[in-house]
Amino acid sequence: MLKEARDSIDLWAYERLAREQGHRLIAGIDEAGRGPLAGPVVAAAVILPPDKDVEGVFDSKQLTAEQRDVCFDLIQSVAEYIGVGIIGHKEIDRINILQATYRAMHMAVRNLGARPDLCLVDGLPIKSFRYRHESIVDGDCKSISIAAASIIAKVTRDRIMREYDKKYPKYGFANHKGYSTPEHRECLLKHGPCAIHRKSFAPVAEELYLLWERQDPISDGKGKTALSDT
């Protein structure tokens, strides 16, 4: 089913049109981690060589974890440039998730190692974006460059969350990656927020308020207090 969906779309159409218009370095940009209650938001920018065979690369949300890992390695081996931007939970709370996402995207482009002639960005238009760009709704299943960026961002963030799982083992971050799943919400109710939870997000803020009302310490997942963001 996935292969049929992928094969029915010309994933190189946007890149090919951009090159016909004179653009050589075309970067696809996407993010992962905008919705979770914990951890960073990660953006990636990827520039692929023209019409390079990247079999299997598609919207990361439609791939299994194993397929994403295979595609991640493939993209790393064939891409001309890859840049990643990571904005942590403290910055997300300080400037809000939308601005943090844009900041991560800018960081990803700066970390490419080359200035793109055109950026293809997943989602709605970004007025504040500093680079020449075209926004494509559902771009991760329409543009090969954006699809590649979605995989780099997703796999990078998932690996970060698996590392956090070792530090905060009671929260199940390796399973839900910080998203608001029933498992995660149950852990929040049981243990309260830990240091990497986004305190500005409603479910986390509610638990912080309840803990404050009870004058209980905030658990770090190991039976200690975690009142700071360190």
Q: What pLDDT score does 214 carry? A: 56
Q: What pLDDT score does 223 carry? A: 45
pLDDT in tens, 120-129: 999 998 988 9
Q: Is the pLDDT of residue 225 over 80?
A: no
pLDDT in tens, 164-193: 999 999 999 999 999 999 999 999 989 989
Q: Is the pLDDT of residue 217 over 60?
A: no
Alpha-carbon torsion angle 143, 149, 152, 158, nearest 10: -90
- Match domain 2-164 to its CATH number in 3.90.1150.10, 3.90.209.20, 3.30.420.10, 3.40.50.300: 3.30.420.10
Q: What pLDDT score does 229 carry? A: 42
Q: What pLDDT score does 187 carry? A: 93
Q: Is the pLDDT of residue 210 over 70?
A: no
Q: Is the pLDDT of residue 17 over 50?
A: yes
Strand partners, 182: none
Residue 191: CA count within 13 A, CB half-sphere: 23
Predicted structure pTM score: 0.88
Confidence of residue 9 (pLDDT cuts 50, 70, 90): confident
Q: What percent of the chain has pLDDT over 90?
A: 80
Q: What pLDDT score does 226 carry? A: 42
- Interacting residues of 58 by C-beta distance below 8 A, sequence separation 6+: 2, 5, 6, 11, 140, 141, 147
Q: What percent of the chain has pLDDT over 70?
A: 87
Stretch 16-34: mean pLDDT, rounded?
Answer: 97
Q: Is the pLDDT of residue 142 over 80?
A: yes
CATH 3.30.420.10 in the chain, residue ranges: 2-164
Q: What pLDDT score does 202 carry? A: 87
Q: What pLDDT score does 207 carry? A: 77
Q: What pLDDT score does 2 carry? A: 62
pLDDT in tens, 192-204: 899 999 999 988 9
pLDDT in tens, 82-118: 999 999 999 999 999 999 999 999 999 999 999 999 9
- Interacting residues of 83 by C-beta distance below 8 A, sequence separation 6+: 27, 44, 45, 46, 107, 108, 109, 110, 111, 112, 113
